[in-house]
Structure 1
Amino acid sequence: MTSSVPYPENEKPVQAWCDPSHLHVTLTDGREVVTPLWWYPRLASATHAERNTVELMLDGVHWPIVDEDLSVRGMLRGWKYPNAVEPTVAAE
């Protein structure tokens, strides 16, 4: 017999949106998780409308147009796409 541990209630997303450079996810306990979009190449290359068409799941966020799923737990642990490359900023 296997036992399943319920997903922590305080880590459930209640809102998610993207600005031009970051993903923002608000959790039930009021925390806001903010991660850079470059961590997720599919989201980074999506349009504003595609990035902001989201579905909240029990344990994360789903982007149906982009076909991307991210877990809150992964965001909290700093997991990014394995081949994600931070963009370089040109020196002025």
Structure 2
Amino acid sequence: MSSTAGNNLISNVPAIKVWAENRMIYLELNDGRILGFPADRFKLLKAASESELKEVQLTLNGYALRWENLDEDLTVQGILEGRFQLPLEPST
């Protein structure tokens, strides 16, 4: 990683809101962007029910997502960089 990576547009952007809907996790970032990703891109989230997914909370001043009952934590930075555990499954 280059030393300038910390200065790019995707670095150090916290979320101000997080929610789950139809097995998608959505983030609203403090710069106004809204992004979503399929819960099925992460092992523990893939196995979770819709109601368990909806229990997501923002932690670390908006820099991380936490599912207490699943004992799962994700960083906003990792999501922005596309660091997912599982490949995207093709739509049927």
User: Do Structure 1 and Structure 2 share a fold, with TM-score over 0.5?
Assistant: yes
What percentage of aligned pairs have identical amino acids? Answer: 25
Q: Is the 8 A contact 2:17 2:28 kept in 1?
A: yes
Which residue of structure 1 lines up, in the alignment, with residue 82 of structure 2?
78
Which residue of structure 2 lines up, in the alignment, with residue 15 of structure 1?
17
SS of corresponding position for 1:70: strand
Q: CA deviation at 1:41?
A: 2.0
Structure 1: stretches of 5+ with no match in the other structure: none
Number of aligned residue pairs: 81
Which residue of structure 1 lines up, in the alignment, with residue 31 of structure 2?
29
List 4+ stretches of structure 1 deviating above 4 A.
none
Q: In the alignment, which of 45, 63, 68 is matched to residue 64 of structure 1?
A: 68
Q: CA deviation at 1:89?
A: 4.3
Matches of 1:89 and 1:61, distance apart in 2? 26
TM-score of the superposition, structure 2-length normalised? 0.73
SS of corresponding position for 2:65: strand
Q: CA deviation at 1:86?
A: 3.5
Which residue of structure 2 lines up, in the alignment, with residue 47 of structure 1?
49
Q: Cα RMSD (Å) of the superposition?
A: 2.1
Asked which structure has the greater CA Rg, the reply is 1
